[in-house]
Amino acid sequence: MRKQYVLFVIVLLFGMGISAQQKEYSGEMHVTPISLQQKGDSVYVKLSFDISGVNVDSRRSISLVPALVAADNRLDLPEVVVKGRENYNVYQREMALMSNRQKAAYASKAPYAVIPGFKSKNAKTIVYQVTIQYSSWMADAKLDMYEDLCGCGNPARRMGVTMLANQIALEKLIEPYVITPYMAYVQPAAEPIKQREIVGEAFLDFVVNKIDIRPEYMNNPRELKKVTDLVSEVKDDKDVTVRAINVIGYASPEGTYANNQRLSEGRAKALVNYLMPRFDYPQNLYKVVFGGENWDGLKECVEASQMPYRKEVLEVIESTPGESSNITANRKRTLMNLKGGEPYRYIVREFCPSLRKAICKIDFDVRNFSIDQAKEVFKSRPQNLSLNEMFLVANTYEKGSQEFIDLFETAVRLYPNDVTANLNAAAAALSRRDKVYAKRYLDKINKSLDIPEYYNTMGVLEILNGNYDKATSHLNKALEMGLREAKQNLAEMAKKQENEILIEQQKGKFRDKNRIKDAKNRLSLQK
């Protein structure tokens, strides 16, 4: 981490004399630096101006401009103006004649001081003190002096002896405390038998009213390959035992219900007959199912489209729920009569071909693995692992390591709706201070679930967000339920808050001692 530094007190007490080489004035002016100091977000500059014995031309004035100067930056500080007799008298008259509004406007851009610069027996010395906002470039700045002899807006020229302070002492800032989050993970329940399924869709092309598959017809080569690749994937996995190969046939809604059932069942059987000679599974593993007329698919197509009378079509589909032959027949009649049949003709032309599909769903069991075996399986087929197996593998790595985090992120990707998977993924995300993903996972968990690990994770998230009251509430719930990590996180939060108080003190924002005391009292109550 890059260290931050601030300016420390510089006291360079050496005089600055300016010879009377300019015709604008005679005598010598002395500017003496007293201190250059940064505290928190402010820089304090203190100088002494002595113009005793200086005589400025009666009609002229001289502006003395202190400036902080670095390589690519310069900041002019409020000027000190020294005026000749006539010029000073004019200034006095102008000030006396100003209205209150004019005086207020003048004050916003007025010099630090206006001093009479003509012969006088009285010493003319002022102490110059200004405070400015600190910027990081000032760490390398020096303090120079410039003079403006004309007041015409041209850049002020550097004086003969200009450098008031050129040495910077560095003081280390109090660095923000970085908490160490203590995350708690939930071990998922073991699965005695890991039952899984894999699903693929095929949109096969058939000759009108025919149920036999022509492998080279239209898009059939591509669609058949999708199904055979799916079955091959499972067939080639030696850790898998297939329980059933389900082929589910769906029909598009046009035509009669009975004919649609005949076609979809026949086409599903045709796909089974295509697969059987290519894979040596027993015939009794193959199951043919009539999925019905694909009204759900039609609804999705309509919702995603800009078809004419879209709203009315959706109302017809949604107002007549069910899948019996009478219901679907009534639904079709209503659509065919809607707006002279225009939307129905659009549906038949644009949507129905994609609604005639077969789904191949393979049900299978995956054997259980030892931890060492699971490590190897995770590299190639993580979907064959249970949540419990991935948890056990994760705990062979250091908490917070990339391997540790990868396992929990893979687990939630494979089991996106599982409470334990989301909770552990959120905890893993916070171990690397990823608040965005942590919140995404936590939002998927039912807030009514009384899980101590959930409260602990929420507490850490709120600490990182700076919401200490909410964090305290969550962590106390987890602590009441006996979770030791919650106590550790409360201690980390206390350190963070104490550190923030010290930083605020350094910045000068807690100048009131009572405020400091109150802040520390609140902190002690949390401890």
What pLDDT, in 10s, does the model give residues 397-410?
998 899 999 999 99
| Predicted confidence (pLDDT) at residue 16 exceeds the cutoff of 50 | no
455 and 493 belong to one structural domain: yes
Pick the residue with more confidence: 484 or 251? 484
Q: Indicate the residue among 302, 332, 365 that finishes a domain.
A: 365
308 plus 214 within the same structural domain:
yes
Same domain, 345 and 376: no
Question: Six-digit token pair at 233?
Answer: 């994937």
Domain count, the chain: 3
Going by pLDDT thresholds of 50, 70 and 90, the confidence category of residue 155 is low
Rounded alpha-carbon distances, angstroms, from residue 266 to 165, 263, 307, 355, 501:
96, 5, 32, 16, 77
The answer to whether position 187 is within a domain reads no
pLDDT of residue 164: 63
- Give the range of the structural domain holding residue 272, as residue numbers without chain letter: 194-365
Residue 189 lies in a domain: no
Residues 217 and 358 in one domain: yes
End-of-domain residue from the set 337, 365, 393: 365
* Short-list 47, 54, 24, CA closest to 157: 24
* pLDDT digit string, tens, across residues 422-481: 999 999 999 999 999 999 999 999 887 889 999 999 999 999 999 999 999 999 999 999
DSSP 202: E
385 within domain boundaries: yes
Average pLDDT over residues 202-223: 83
In a domain, 79, yes or no: yes
What's the count of helices (H) and strands (E) in the chain, helices before strands? 18, 18
Cα 75 to Cα 277: distance, rounded to the nearest angstrom: 87
Query: Cβ atoms within 10 A of the Cβ of 144, count?
Result: 19
Nearest to 463 by CA among 437, 430, 436: 430
One domain, residues 260 and 358: yes
Please report which confidence band the pLDDT of residue 172 belongs to, taking 50, 70 and 90 as the band edges.
Answer: low
Residue 179 lies in a domain: no
DSSP 361-407: EEEEEE----HHHHHHHHHH-GGGS-HHHHHHHHTTS-TTSHHHHHH
Q: Which residues 6+ apart lie within 8 Å of 76 measured at CB?
A: 65, 66, 67, 146
Domain boundary among 116, 138, 172: 172
* HSE toward the beta carbon, residue 458, CA cutoff 13 A: 23
| Same domain membership, residue 133 and residue 51 | yes
The larger pLDDT score, comparing residue 258 to residue 384, is at: 384
* Residues 34 and 162 both lie in one domain: yes
Q: What is the 3-state secondary structure (H, E, C) of 10-21?
A: ECCCCCCEECCC
* Integer Cα distance of 436 and 163 in angstroms: 51
Assigned domain for 395 exists: yes
Query: If you average pLDDT over every residue of the chain, what do you get?
Result: 84
Residues 396 and 512 occupy one common structural domain: yes
pLDDT of 270 > 60? The answer is: yes
Evaluate whether residue 457 is within a structural domain: yes
Please indicate, yes or no, whether residues 380 and 471 belong to a single structural domain of this protein: yes
344 and 380 share one domain: no
Which position has the higher pLDDT, 33 or 325?
33
214 and 335, same structural domain? yes
**375 and 361 co-located in one domain:** no
Which residues lie below 8 Å from residue 433, measured CB to CB, with a gap of 6+? 181, 464
Is 304 among the domain residues? yes
**CATH number for the domain that contains residue 491:** 1.25.40.10
Instruction: Residue 255: give its domain's CATH number.
Output: 3.30.1330.60
pLDDT at residue number 52: 85
